[in-house]
Amino acid sequence: SLTRMCSIEPCSLLQQSNYDCIIIVGDNPLHLGQNLSAFSKTIQHYCAKNCSIMSPKSTTFVPCSESVAPAGRLVFAHTGPLNRDFDDSRSLYDAAQRGIELAISAGSRSPLLCRAWLGSLPSDQWSMDLNNLDRCIALGALQAVYCPLEVREATGNRNAALVGRLGYLVNQEDDATAALVAQRFNFIRALESGRQLARDIGGSDPERMSPGRIADRLASEFGVVSNGPVVMEIEESIKPEKYPLMAAVDRGSVERHRGKVVHLTYEGELNSRADAADRSHVTLLLAGKGVTFDSGGLSLKTGGSMVGMHRDKCGAAAVAGLFSLLAQLRPPNLTARCSLGLVRNSIGSGSYSPDEVIVSRAGRRVRVVNTDAEGRMILADLLCLQRERALELAEPSRARLFTVATLTGHAVLAYGQGYSIAMDNGPARRLGVAAKLQAAGDLIADPFEISTVRREDWDFVRSSGPYEELLQCNPQPSAATPRGHQFPAAFLAAASGLDKHGTDSKIPLSYTHIDNAGSAGRMKSTPPTASPLLAVAMRYVLPRLSRCL
């Protein structure tokens, strides 16, 4: 049941008989382009009688004979205009997803995706490379065919995907060789493989993906071996002497929910002939929040807000998916190390409580104010570990530290659904880490917004009392607190000791906090998105592969 599901294969129109539906993604059904001229007359005839197909973002099933499209199934997925101020690559992604969903509802199990000529494409960064457009369409379609892990296991079907075969029409005007086309689709398949691992972990219920069972899932993915592309280490218990803040969160759990820490390491080959800055060697040091269920602890979630909290592990899930991608593609000039804190925030006789003062791994005295702010407790110790790893490097300036977490409801309130938020410290801002992540995400329908950690955020977490140095939170929910997603980034930097490595220090360290609460997917209704996996891969992995991809 853990086997990979439906993949995607490039093909030509001569191979369309292998499929049972044609899905055309385009911005004008009357202008499909030379590559799809075989369908123009049928669609034009339909347009003359049914103007609804012309509506932006409509998805239309076009009746036709089997001589026109296999099994008489033809779908046009309208992207809408692509050249307005607010249009971006998600128009293609969303259209492909809608097209696949309609094809499946019409009985298709082997659809073929086609990109029409796009007359409204702007001269923007996201649209200038046709490969980016194809990636967005392919990944939108693959999101639609994902089948949850529990469903695959319950049906006993090792290949329970909604479709059995998914094809993508390669533009005949593209002069790419067959080998290059194969490499491009291998990248798409690797992205999707990483997303599937992230969705399996992030979307599954809190018993199916308890800390121990997540560790088992990752062991089946990477193997606890020392000679694979990704080396995995599992800490079977959370030791207070190593991770004091995280261990406090773990105290309330019963034995079967006891926390774990998983470390993953990828070492790419060094290539000193890199000809651009974004291809030179860099070390990614990531900490992922993997809260398998968040009750709020003693600061109990009320009013039904506990429902959906099994998705509070989507930060760690996305990071794990990134390492699946690295294991398959093996990009050179890239080292990546991550630590995933897999913990359940339960209520029990040993639960940590407000008013406790706990000394972090970095030696900072932290006053607990709100046990529902458990994510930053988990991440602070792991971020401290990554800081230590960065300082061990021969060139700490090549390190890029990240925390990735569904951390705050305020992130959703501030920017809405569908957006990750990146917050740089001073050294990261000088390097443009968040800005470059945002640009990469725009290329692949994985958008970022950028927030700034200000002096008010630092003032918020500093304590004036004699007992503690830092306040973990305030008693209110983040969504009811001004700057509710920014001040946790200040807390993470301070509690981990990274505040000693700002722009004014002898050893500045680049640190970016990513809050993916708004982008991971709606908590209850749809499969997770694995965001920000795609944007991180576009920023750090793709440039280190063949530049023609």
Assess whether the previous peptide bond of 532 is cis (omega < 30° from 0).
yes
User: Reduced to 3 states, what is the DSSP secondary structure of residue 199?
Assistant: helix
Rg (CA), the chain: 24
Q: How many residues does the chain have?
A: 549
Q: Is 260 a catalytic residue?
A: no
Angle at which helix 487-496 crosses helix 374-392, to 10 degrees, equals 50
DSSP for 242-305?
Answer: T-HHHHHHHTT--GGG--EEEEEEEEPPP-TT--SGGGS-EEEEEEEEEEEEE--TTS---TTT
Separation CA 502–CA 490 (nearest Å):
12
Distance between CA atoms of residues 353 and 491, nearest Å: 18
Structure tokens at 404: 């990735």
Provide DSSP, 337-391. Answer: EEEEEEEEE---TT---TT-EEE-TTS-EEE---TT-HHHHHHHHHHHHHHHHHH
Selected catalytic residue, list 98, 217, 337, 376: 376
296: left (phi over 0), alpha (psi -120 to 50) or beta: left
Evaluate whether 472 touches 365 at the Cβ level (below 8 Å): no
CA distance 380 to 377: 6
Phi, psi dihedral angles at 341 (to 5 degrees): -90, 110
Backbone φ and ψ for 79, nearest 5 degrees, come out as: -80, -20
> 449 pairs with which residues across the strands?
421
Phi, psi for residue 326 in degrees, rounded to 5? -65, -40
Which of 109, 165, 242, 301 is catalytic? The answer is: 301
Q: Which pair of structure tokens corresponds to residue 180?
A: 């290059």
Amino acid at 421: I
State whether residue 332 is helix, strand or coil.
Answer: coil
Give the 3-state secondary structure of residue 150. helix
* CB atoms closer than 10 angstroms to residue 503: 11
Contact indicator for 214, 342 with CB cutoff of 8 Å: yes
- Nearest CA to 409 among 299, 530, 249, 520? 520
What CA–CA distance (Å, rounded) separates 502 from 222?
A: 35
Nearest CA-CA partner of 245 in 349, 392, 385 = 385
Dist. CA 440–CA 10, nearest whole Å: 24
> Is residue 239 flagged as an active site residue?
no
**Sheet of strand 9-11, all strands in order from the earlier edge strand to the far edge:** 9-11, 167-169, 111-115, 21-26, 74-78, 59-61
Residue 382 Cα to chain centre, angstroms: 20
Active site residues: 301, 376
